Every structure is written in structure tokens, then in C-alpha cells.
Copies of this chain bind each other. A is one copy, B any other.
């Protein structure tokens, strides 16, 4: 069995050039080659072993992180304190620090002579950053800030890397000078001694405890932090935008505040890209296993039906496959948008920033919610075996879901999009579908999605206008507004996917497959959000029923290419970390092998048998049931 490809019969059905698709997925030949080489390297090195993660205790889990610290970060497939060091600590200094501050701190951070985290959220405040309670009071006598946690709820809570590892933090606190408040700002604070790693006097630090899953996010030391009047020099406030003078006066610099939004656009754009990665990974596992798994339908002793051939399985799985591609392409576009905004900012053109900001916020929300749901659906698509950690899906879900919460709670973000939409002008149009095939016309589809989004906005705007106070209206109608925001974000994803299809895409059959995926994504949304489309009169019930017909036909067209389409993600078995998703489809023997590794199987007779089980069987235990 070893070495044999149990999915060869599937791969033989492929109607397109998989290698060409791999390049489309990766974004470029160069990106493909780089990541392919790295992935193979990592897969072959025992230092990156991860199959035993769910069986380790909390201490064992965190230890792994440290071991791998200096190594190829991208391929260490787990959250780690270095994420926040590189992903938030360094960018915060870059974005909010003055030139001198950058010169002083960045080299230390780059060489990891200090390790930093990003300490914004508190026990009592997350979404509402302006409500943070930690104070930074300027003391003109000593030219220092006094950082203090005045209440229990002001304890910093959640920062990744804080609990056990970081030596420094960017701490967000309310600035107070001369008895006056000046809003929330960032401060560089040393937390631990660089000699013995002990917290400095007046600082209490700990880990906030276990999170969802076995391994999952528990490789990260999310932490708690309390300050008892800690003093830092004045020049450790990040002063690019606002400066505090020797006398304690606040002076606005000439750097526009909006620059800070740029960092947010950057981080969220990364999250959209990650969504497509996590989703494609889950889809890869579920698709391969659905082709391996057979259940029912055996006629006269022949093979049973592969579950991937059941229409219900297809109608659950293929839209997720299509979404993986859709999110990939909208992620590419966001990356471009970020670069465009950055260039404009440098040229002092802030005109596109509000839209870019709303776009990334909305797409962060849309793609992470969809991905979290999709991973769980993929787990269910694997039946009972999906519930085993060996399937890789439980941990993938557990490690992924906080993306719906961090960097902006998804509902709060949609409300921001809605606010932006209510300021925009809206247009009207109507749907022109007469036959099922008409659902495959880009113009027709775009019109329907534009009309739906626009009309939902208009309806909200109309209802809003009935309120005397617009804020009351916004609050009262916020559930409807969120739905309008979702419709808007889906329109973006759809239009970017359609844009992608206008490009020149080499490789036999590659474009045809992408076209099918695009319309599966589109028509499935029409079906799933049918209420929106019908109630706004964008389509008719007849057109809805044609959409359904078209969807079935698209599923049949994608079916023979399903395995090849997930092969195109080019994930190694090591990266997937799933017995069910093995590239060779050799699921059952490997599942069987895997079971014996559980610590419970160290002994045939379980620990505790003599104390508890034996006496019960021999009726020496008094309180057996009955």
C-alpha cells in the first residue's frame, strides 16, 4: 500500500493543467517555487514535527514554540510569540515612533535583543479602545511617565507573547499631563529583566490560561499584566503624531493621523490572505477524504459510492472550494489596494483611504466568518472520523476561530462598513436572467449583486430617515445594516473574482475551471441569500429556480476536477497535518496506526483499573447505579 496513490483514479479525470493552476493559486511562478521548496524542507526536518501536539500538556506545548523560535517562522505551523513581535510590536514602532525612536528600538527588535508584544486590550475593554483604563501620567519633576493600572479591569489581558516571553511591550494607555486627559497613546515599556527574565518591580505578569482546543492557540502565551506606578522616560511614548514636551505640553506633529490607518489596512489584508489559506487547507482535507470515503450504493458486490458523488456532499463542499479561490483573489486585490494607498499617502493623497479602510474591515469580517464556518462544515463532511484530532480539522478550527474576534470583532467591523455605506451614493438596475445559462454572464451577475447591495442600502437609508436622531436610527436598525454591509462585501468579492477572469491565464483548461469556481461562488450566494435578492425585487422566483438548476450543472462540471483543484494548493502532507487529507488517499491504515500512539495505549490494562474498575466488577463498590 505504501507508495501507492489511492487517488490516482481521481487525478486521471482532471481536465486542466494542475501545474499551471498551482502558479495561479500561488500568485506567480516565483512565489510557487519558493513556497514549494520551503514546504518540502520543513516537512523533512524532525524539528518541525507537529503530529504529537494535541497530546502534550500545556507546558510541553509552549516549549515547542521556544525551540523553533529562530527558525523558518512561516513554516512553523502554530501561533507563536514571534507573531506579535514581528507583526505588531515592530510595525507599531515603525508606524507610530519618531525617527529617533525608530533608530533606537528597531535594531534591538530586529536582532531580537529585546522581544516585544502589543498590549492594547484589557480585561474590561477590547473593541472600545478609547475606553481603556491604564493611565500614563506625565511627571514633570523627573521627566517620566508613570504607567499605572488603576483597577482590576484595567489589567492588560490577551496580548500574545506577553505571558511568559516578552521583555518589552507597546502599552496603550490614557495620556494625562497637567491633570488633563489626552486620549489613548502607545508607550514602550520594559517588562522583564534582560538578565534573569524576572518581571521588573511593580509589574505583575502571567499567562491567562487555556484557550479553545488542545494544541491550537495554546502554543501562544497570551498574557495578563498589571502595573503599579511604573516609571518610564518621556521619550518612550510613541510620538510620531503627538508629542509631549519637557514641560508636559501636548503638541500635534505635522504627520497626519490617517497614517495610522495604513497599518490597520495592512494587518487586515494579511488576515484576508490567511483566511484563504486556512479555508483551502480544510477544503483540501474534506475533498480528498470525500473521494476516499465510500458509503452505500454498492450494486451486486461492486464498490460503494464515493461520498463526493452525493449531491448533498457537493452542494456543501464545492461552494467552499470556490470560496477558497474567491478569497485568494480578493486577497491579492487587497494587497494591491494596500500598496496603492501607501503610495498615495506618501504623496499626501488621502482620498481613497476611507474606502480602503471600509473595504478591508468588511472583507476581514466576511472572509473570517465564512472560513470559520467552512472549517467546521468540512469537519462534518468527514463524518465521524472528522471528529478525531488526527483529521487535523478540530485543531484547525480551534486555532482559526479567534480571527473572527481579534483585529476587530466581526460584527463591530460590519457596522463600520454600514456607516461608510450610508454616506455613499447608490445606483439602481435590474436582472436579465431568462435561462439557466444566463447566470454565467458576468454582466448579468454583477448587475444582480450591485442591485441587491444598492437596494438593501437604500432600504436602510429610507428607514433611517424616519428617525429624528440618525444615531438612534442606526442603533435601532443595526441588524439590517449589518446585512447590507455583508451584501456589499460579497459584491466586492464577486467583482474581483470576475475581474480575475478577464486576465490572461495560461495553462490548459485553467481558466475554464476558475470560471466554474467563480460561478459556483456566485450562484451559491444567490441561493443562500435568496431572501435578499427576492425581497429587493432584484430577481424573480423563476430566475431563482434557474439559478438552482445552473448550480447543479456547475457541480457536475467541477466534480471530476475536484481533487486536482485541491492538489493545486500544493500543500504537503506535513503542512496539512491530516490523516484524512493525505495526498495519497491511504487513509485507513494510517488512521489505524495513528490510534496506537495515544498515551492511553501505553498499557493494555488502563491505569486505575485496580482501584476503580475491578472492585466494581467484583461488586466491592457500594454505590454502583441501581
Tell me the minimal C-beta distance from A208 to chain B in angstroms: 5
A404 to B382 Cα, complex, angstroms: 12
Query: In the bound complex, how far is the Cα of B70 from the Cα of A616, in angstroms?
Result: 8
Partner-contacting stretch, out of A157-165, A266-274, A425-433: A157-165
> Which residues of chain A from 507 to 548 have any CB-CB distance to chain B below 8 Å in the complex?
527-537, 541, 544-545, 548
User: CB-defined interface of A159-184 with B at 8 Å, one 1/0 digit per residue?
Assistant: 00001110100000000000000000
Is A447 an interface residue, CB under 8 A from the partner?
A: no
- Contact partner of A387 (CB less than 8 A), chosen from B197, B212, B598, is B212
Q: Which residues of B contact A607 (CB under 8 A)?
A: 59, 63
- Neighbour of A612 across the interface among B69, B121, B402, B621, CB < 8 A: B69
Please encode chain A, from 326 to 363, with 1 for each CB lying within 8 Å of some chain B CB and 0 for all others: 00000000000000000000000000000000000000
Which of B82, B212, B295, B601 meets A128, CB within 8 Å? Answer: B295
Decide: B535 and A545 in contact? CB cutoff 8 A: yes
**Chain B residues closer than 8 Å to A599, beta-carbon distance:** 57-59
Interface string of A385-416 (1 = CB under 8 A from B): 01111100010011001101110011100010
Chain B CB within 10 A, most for which of A164, A402, A477: A164
CB pair B210–A588 under 8 Å, yes or no, is no
Q: Which of A583-626 contact B (CB under 8 A)?
A: 588-589, 591-592, 594-601, 604-609, 611-614, 616-619, 621-626
Find chain B residues with CB under 8 A from A402 CB: 384, 387
Stretch at the interface among A21-29, A304-312, A491-499: A304-312
Q: In the complex, A569→B106 CA distance in Å?
A: 55
Which single member of B531, B594, B598 contacts A58 (CB below 8 Å)?
B598
* Interface residues in A, total, Cβ within 8 A: 146
A54 contact set on B, CB distance < 8 A: 210
Task: Answer whether residue A35 sits at the interface, using C-beta atoms and an 8 A cutoff.
Answer: no
The answer to whether B621 and A311 touch across the interface, beta carbons within 8 angstroms, is: no
Q: Which residue of B lies closest to A610 (CB)?
A: B197
A251 within 8 A of B: no
A45 within 8 A of B: no
Copies of the chain in the assembly: 2
A214: chain B residues within 8 A (beta carbon)? 210, 213-214
Cα of A123 to Cα of B388 in the assembled complex, Å: 12
Which of B155, B197, B205, B592 meets A224, CB within 8 Å?
B592
Let me know if A124 is at the binding interface, CB within 8 A: yes
Bound Cα distance from A531 to B609, whole angstroms: 57
**A295-B128, A598-B210, A606-B62 in contact; A409/B389 too (CB < 8 A)?**
no
Cβ-based interface call for A131 (8 A): yes
Mark the stretch among A97-105, A253-261, A478-486 that contacts chain B: A478-486
Q: A604 contacts B199, CB within 8 Å? A: yes
Confirm or deny: A126 has a beta carbon within 8 angstroms of a beta carbon on chain B: yes
Distance in Å from the Cβ of A427 to the closest Cβ of chain B?
20
A5 at interface, CB cutoff 8 A: no
Residues of B within 8 A of A153 (CB): 588
* The one of B59, B296, B410, B600 that contacts A163, using a Cβ cutoff of 8 Å: B600
Contacts A479-B311, A527-B531, A531-B534; A210 near B388 (Cβ below 8 A): yes
A435 interface residue per 8 A CB criterion: no
A127: Cβ under 8 A from any B Cβ: yes
Q: Report A134-158 CB contacts with B as 1/0, cut-off 8 Å.
A: 0000000000000000001101011
Contact with B along A462-497 (1 / 0, CB 8 A): 000000000000011111101000000000000000
Q: Is there contact, CB below 8 Å, between A588 and B124?
A: yes
CB contacts (< 8 Å) of A57 on chain B: these are: 55, 57, 599
Contact flags A303-324 to B (C-beta < 8 A → 1, else 0): 0100000111111100000000
Q: Which residues of B contact A617 (CB under 8 A)?
A: 112-115, 167, 194
Among A214, A409, A536, A597, the one with the most B-chain Cβ atoms within 10 Å of its Cβ is A214
Q: Quick check: A295 and B125 within 8 Å, CB to CB?
A: yes
Q: Which residue of B lies closest to A556 (CB)?
A: B476
Instruction: Determine whether A557 belongs to the interface, using a CB cutoff of 8 Å to chain B.
Output: no
A617 to B389, CA, bound (A): 35
Q: How far, in Å, is A8 (CB) from chain B's closest CB? A: 19
In whole angstroms, how far apart are the Cα atoms of A152 and B62 in the complex?
36
Q: In whole angstroms, how far apart are the Cα atoms of A336 and B211 in the complex?
A: 41
Collect the chain B residues with CB atoms within 8 Å of residue A19's CB: none
Asked whether A450 is an interface residue with its Cβ less than 8 Å from the other chain, the reply is no
List, in ascending order, chain B residues with CB within 8 A of A604's CB.
198-199, 205
| A207 on the B face (CB < 8 A) | yes
Contact B63 A209 (CB under 8 A): no
> With A155-B592, A480-B548 as given contacts, are A312 and B387 in contact (CB-CB < 8 Å)?
no
Asked if A37 is an interface residue, CB under 8 A from chain B, the answer is: no
Whether the pair A67, B612 counts as a contact (CB closer than 8 A) is yes
Instruction: Indicate which residue in B126, B194, B389, B541 contacts A211 across the interface (CB closer than 8 Å).
Output: B389
Cβ of A298 under 8 Å from chain B: yes
User: Does A73 lie at the interface of the complex (its beta carbon under 8 Å from any beta carbon of B)?
Assistant: yes
Residues A207 and B59 in contact, CB atoms below 8 Å apart: no
24 A–B contacts from the bound complex (CB under 8 Å): A58-B599, A62-B608, A63-B607, A71-B623, A112-B624, A113-B617, A126-B295, A127-B383, A158-B384, A198-B605, A207-B601, A210-B598, A212-B389, A213-B213, A217-B387, A311-B475, A312-B415, A312-B478, A379-B401, A380-B401, A384-B402, A394-B398, A530-B534, A531-B544
| 8 tightest Cβ-Cβ pairs between the two chains A and B | A530-B531, A212-B394, A66-B612, A315-B479, A534-B534, A164-B606, A210-B389, A207-B600
